[in-house]
Amino acid sequence: MNLIVAVDENWAIGNHNELLITIPADHKFFRQETSGKVVVLGRKTLETFPQGLPLKNRVNIIMSTNRDYKVKDAAVVHSLEELLKELKQYDTQDVYVVGGESIYRLLLPYCNVAHVTKIDHAYAADAYFPNLDELPEWEITADSEEQTYFDITYHFLKYERVR
């Protein structure tokens, strides 16, 4: 499985259930990487999408502990076991974990590739992604040229599980 995330220099990913910053090139990369694929996300992340709707041109699998939760045009699962069973019908290389914090933490052990947009700035935040630089099983295998958006610099990094 893959994951895709934008983090600040402290590995923060959000504040008050919103992204820290919207960078058009990051959104374009997200669309290119996940279009036609399977995305796994939590209910709170889905609610941050436009009109709270699943992403178009993707298979959306929503994780929610609420057994009555239903989403049009998406599969809803209620546990890790249910998710893993649902994912058996897909090539794991086509599966992308897209957030939020609890979903990333739950599924990180099942991922082998992490696409990380690393923003060279620290934001006020209340949601964080595990610091892959501190985890010996992960290493950077690709690094883009420095990118800029107004006065913000960032890199597109690819981490891969090596052990």
**Burial class for 113, CB neighbours closer than 10 Å (0-12, 13-18, 19+):** middle
pLDDT tens digits for range 13-32? 999 999 999 999 999 999 99
> Which pLDDT score, from 0 to 100, does residue 9 have?
98
State how many domains the chain has.
1
pLDDT tens digits for range 36-48? 999 999 999 999 9
pLDDT tens digits for range 96-133? 999 999 999 999 999 999 999 999 999 999 999 999 99
Q: Are 161 and 112 in contact (CB under 8 A)?
A: yes
> Which pLDDT score, from 0 to 100, does residue 81 have?
97
Rounded Cα gap, residues 163 and 157, in angstroms:
19
**Domain harbouring 107, CATH code:** 3.40.430.10
Q: Are 10 and 125 in contact (CB under 8 A)?
A: yes
pLDDT tens digits for range 74-91? 999 999 999 999 999 999
Beta bridge partners of 14: 19, 127
> Which pLDDT score, from 0 to 100, does residue 150 have?
96
Burial 59-88 (b: 16+ CB within 10 A, else e): bbbbbbeeeeeebeebbbbeeeeebeebbe
> Which pLDDT score, from 0 to 100, does residue 128 have?
98
Radius of gyration for the alpha carbons in the chain, expressed in angstroms and rounded: 15
pLDDT band, residue 163 (cuts 50/70/90): confident
Picking from 40, 47, 39, 38, the residue whose alpha carbon sits closest to that of residue 19 is 47
Picking from 107, 68, 56, the residue whose alpha carbon sits closest to that of residue 86 is 107
> Which pLDDT score, from 0 to 100, does residue 68 have?
95
Domain enclosing residue 29, as ranges: 2-161
